Amino acid sequence: MRAFVLERYGKKRAITLSEVPAPTLRDDEVLVQVHAASVNQLDCKLRDGEFKLILPYRMPLVLGHDVAGVVVDVGPSAQPFKVGDEVYARADDMRIGTFAEMVAVKAASVAHKPKSLTMEEAASLPLVALTAWQALVEVAHLRKGQKVFIQAGSGGVGTFAIQLAKHLGATVATTTSAGNAALVKSLGADVVIDYRTQDFEDVLRDVDVVLNSQDGKTLEKSLRVLRRGGKLISISGPPDPAFGQAIGAPGFVKLVLRLLSAGVRRRARRGGIDYSFLFMMANGSQLGEITRLVEAGVIRPVVDRVFPFEATNEAMAYVDSGRAKGKVVVKLR
């Protein structure tokens, strides 16, 4: 089969279109013929080598985490799926590889594709939707009447998280450029801060939950806009000891993670704030909940551009540029 392969880590290194063997199907997996796959910042960061300490992939590596397609084979314990089902998923860590014609995914990580969506729209959702769900529902327990600050509202995670937070009854603040203000307002943002001309620290007070996706400076400022008892959930680091425990990291890696996050955890404790790092995990049942929200018209995907499969490097470069509104997708069929 054709696949885009990373030969070795390298900053903005090109991945190579190659012929590789089809994945070997395990008992608990389904084999998906890929119709579309979306490109995430995670793919770019993996390529650059940013996660090689905590995700020790062997090279060569087929990149890609999100997939929408059709089941073409089913492992003996991969229920309830059957050949011909239209599905979507976030591929499991250490079993990624959706920038390819076929990918094997654990049945527990797969959900039936929303019937109202195209393959390209469906492929845009899993990683960002699960990130938002796990942050706002599972960790923050966001509820009606609370105030949430979602950074980078016009990005992939932001466009979904705004809609989910609004559905949960929260008042939503976000940052974006003036040119994207109309987009985030249409998704449900109540307070829109132009990051080029305004400092969110001057606008926000007593926030209940912050979803941080930016740099260390923004993380520090986020601590100052939260109320005592608030929650700071970061998807951009630094990883905390709980994350090292969850992934079963070796002792030296756990020590590194503890040291990396020591400063922010200490300052959060001083302010009575709960800090946690979120590295989202594949989860088919949560994706099923997201499917129901999509089918009910509560959530809509935001797709910026669709590239042909052969232009996957160009799609990654576009994601790298930081200009995408919503998601970037590559189309195979």
pLDDT digits (tens, 9 = 90+) for 15-38: 999 999 999 999 999 999 999 999
pLDDT, residue 201, reads: 96
Among 32-36, 224-228, 240-244, whose mean pLDDT is lowest? Answer: 240-244
- At residue 253, does pLDDT exceed 90? no
Band (243; pLDDT cuts 50, 70, 90): confident
Tell me the CATH architecture of domain 2-125+301-331. Alpha-Beta Complex (3.90)
Q: Residues 42-62: pLDDT tens digits?
A: 999 999 999 888 888 999 999
Q: What is the mean pLDDT of residues 128-156?
A: 98
Query: Under a CB-based contact definition with an 8 Å cutoff, are residues 173 and 158 in contact?
Result: no
pTM for the model: 0.96
Give per-residue pLDDT as tens, 148-196.
Answer: 999 999 999 999 999 999 999 999 999 999 999 999 999 999 999 999 9
Q: Cβ distance 23 to 3 under 8 Å?
A: no
Average pLDDT over residues 210-228: 96
Domain ranges of the chain: 2-125+301-331, 128-277
Q: What is the pLDDT of residue 7?
A: 97
Ramachandran angles phi, psi of 310, nearest 5°: -65, -20
- Structure confidence at residue 79 (pLDDT): 87
The chain-wide mean pLDDT, for the chain, equals: 96
- pLDDT at site 36: 99
Same fold, 2-125+301-331 and 128-277: no
Indicate whether 245 pLDDT > 90. Answer: no
Output the pLDDT for position 292: 98
% of the chain at pLDDT higher than 90? 90
- The pLDDT of residue 200 is 98
The yes-or-no verdict on residue 308 having pLDDT over 90 is yes
Give domain 128-277's CATH architecture.
3-Layer(aba) Sandwich (3.40)
Residue 211 has pLDDT above 90, yes or no: yes
Task: Examine the pLDDT at 242 and tell me if it is beyond 90.
Answer: no
Mean pLDDT of 235-256: 86
Average pLDDT, integer, range 107-132: 98
